[in-house]
Amino acid sequence: MSNVVIFGGTTEGRILSEMLSRAEIRHTVCVATDYGKEAMDEDPFVRIRVGRMDRDEMTGFLGKMKESGELKQEDECIVIDVTHPYAREATANIKSAACANGIRYIRVTRDKTHLHSEIVHEYEDIAECARSMDGTQGNILLTTGTRELGEYFENTSKETGGRTFVRVLPCMESIRICEKEGVDPGHVIALQGPFSRELNEAIIKQYDIKHLITKDSGIAGGCLEKIEAARNTGTDVHMIKRPEEEAGVSVIEAFGIVSEARGHVHTGYGAPDHEQYDAGDAGILIYLIGMGMGDPDCMTLEAARALKDCDAVFGAKRLVRNISHNTVYDMYKASDIIPVLEKGDIYKAAIVFSGDTGFYSGAKGMIRALKEWKKDIRIRVIPGISSIAFLASRLGESYEDACLVSLHGKNMEKDLIMLADKVRYHDRAFVLLSDAGDVKEIAGKLIDLGIEGNMTIGLNLSSDDELIEEMTLTEALEYDGGGIATLFIRNHKPEKRPLINVKKDSEFIRDKIPMTKECIRHESIIRLGLKEGDVFYDIGGGTGSVAIEAASLHQSLQVFTIEKNPEAVRLINENIKKADLCNVTVIEGDAETVLTDMDKPDCVFIGGSGGKLREIISILHSKGNGIRYVINAVTFETTEEVRSLIRDCAPEDEECVMISVSDVKQAGSYHMMRAQDPVWIFSFTL
Is the pLDDT at 260 greater than 80, yes or no? no
Q: In this structure, what CATH number is given to the domain that contains residue 559?
A: 3.40.50.150
> How buried is 532 (Cβ within 10 angstroms: 0-12 exposed, 13-18 middle, 19+ buried)?
exposed
Domain end position, chosen among 491, 519, 553: 491
CATH code of 44's domain: 3.40.50.720
Nearest to residue 52, comparing CAs of 36, 76, 28? 36
The span from the CA of 647 to the CA of 669, in Å, is 50
pLDDT in tens, 593-637: 999 999 999 999 999 888 889 999 999 999 999 999 999 999 898
Q: Could you tell me whether strands 453-459 and 467-472 are parallel, antiparallel, or unpaired per DSSP bridges?
A: antiparallel
Average pLDDT over residues 296-308: 83
- In the predicted model, what is the mean pLDDT of residues 441-466? 89
Q: How far is CA 327 from the centre of its chain?
A: 34
What CA–CA distance (Å, rounded) separates 672 from 248? Answer: 81
Categorize the per-residue pLDDT at 115 as very low, low, confident or very high, splitting at 50, 70 and 90: low
Indicate whether 500 pLDDT > 80: no
Task: Looking at the structure, tell me whether residues 511 and 555 fall in a common domain.
Answer: yes
Judge if 9 and 98 occupy the same domain: yes
Average pLDDT on 39-63 reads 87
Would you tell me how many other CB atoms lie within 10 Å of the CB of residue 279? 20
Instruction: Select the more confidently predicted residue: 403 or 268.
Output: 403
> Looking at the predicted structure, is the pLDDT value of residue 35 above 90?
no
Whether residue 598 lies inside any domain: the answer is yes
Q: Would the pLDDT of 264 be above 70?
A: no
Please give the Cα distance from 317 to 218 (Å, whole number).
39
Q: Are residues 511 and 655 in the same domain?
A: yes
420 or 663: which leads in pLDDT: 420
Residue 347 lies in a domain: yes
The answer to whether residue 452 sits within a structural domain is yes
Give whichever of 78-92, 344-358, 539-553, 664-678 has the largest mean pLDDT.
539-553
Are residues 380 and 463 located together in one domain of the fold? no
- The set of residues, in sequence order, having a beta carbon less than 8 Å from that of 220 and lying 6+ positions away, is 10, 11, 12, 110, 375
Q: Is residue 270 part of a domain?
A: no
Query: Residue 530 above 90 pLDDT?
Result: yes
Q: What confidence score (pLDDT) does residue 187 get?
A: 96
Stated as kind and residue range, the H or E segment containing 190 is strand 188-190
**pLDDT tens digits, 56-67:** 999 999 888 877
pLDDT of residue 118 exceeding 60, the answer is: yes
Instruction: Judge whether 66 lies within some domain.
Output: yes
* Owning domain of residue 643: 505-685
Phi first, then psi: what are they for 158, rounded to 5°? -65, -40
Q: What is the pLDDT of residue 74?
A: 46
The CATH code of the domain that includes 165 is 3.40.50
Q: Are residue 18 and residue 146 in the same domain, yes or no?
A: no
Which of 351, 385, 419 is the C-terminal boundary of a domain? Answer: 385
**For residue 498, is it within any domain?**
no
Q: What is the mean pLDDT of residues 290-316?
A: 85
Query: Are residue 457 and residue 525 in the same domain, yes or no?
Result: no
Residue 262's pLDDT band (cuts 50, 70, 90): low
Q: Order the strands of the 453-459 sheet from edge to edge.
A: 403-406, 428-432, 485-491, 453-459, 467-472
Phi, psi of 129 (to 5 degrees): -65, -45
CATH number, domain of 295, equals 3.40.1010.10
State whether 564 and 626 are in the same domain.
yes
Same domain membership, residue 191 and residue 133: yes
Query: What percent of the chain has pLDDT above 90?
Result: 44
Residue 269 is assigned to a structural domain of this protein: no
Total domains, the chain: 5
Residue 416: CB atoms within 10 A of its CB come to 20
Please report whether residue 266 resides in a domain: no
Grade residue 117 by pLDDT with cuts at 50, 70 and 90: low
Weakest-pLDDT range from 212-221, 288-297, 374-383:
212-221
Q: Is the pLDDT of residue 75 over 80?
A: no
Using 50, 70 and 90 to split pLDDT, how confident is the model at 283? low
Q: Are residues 664 and 517 in the same domain?
A: yes
Is 615 found in the same domain as 534?
A: yes
Residues 567 and 622 in one domain: yes
Radius of gyration over every alpha carbon of the chain, rounded to an integer in angstroms: 32
**Same domain, yes or no, for 634 and 524?**
yes
Q: How far is CA 252 from the centre of its chain?
A: 26
Query: Residue 111's pLDDT band (boundaries 50, 70, 90)?
Result: low
Give 275's DSSP letter.
P
Residue 246 has pLDDT above 80, yes or no: no
- Which CATH number is 431's domain given? 3.30.950.10
Answer whether residue 52 shows pLDDT above 50. yes
pLDDT of residue 668: 83
Is 200 in contact with 182 (CB distance < 8 Å)?
no
Computed over every residue of the chain, the mean pLDDT equals 86
Whether the pLDDT of residue 276 is over 70: the answer is no
**End position of a domain, from candidates 229, 261, 293:** 261
- What is the spatial distance between Cα 349 and Cα 313, in angstroms, rounded to a whole number? 6
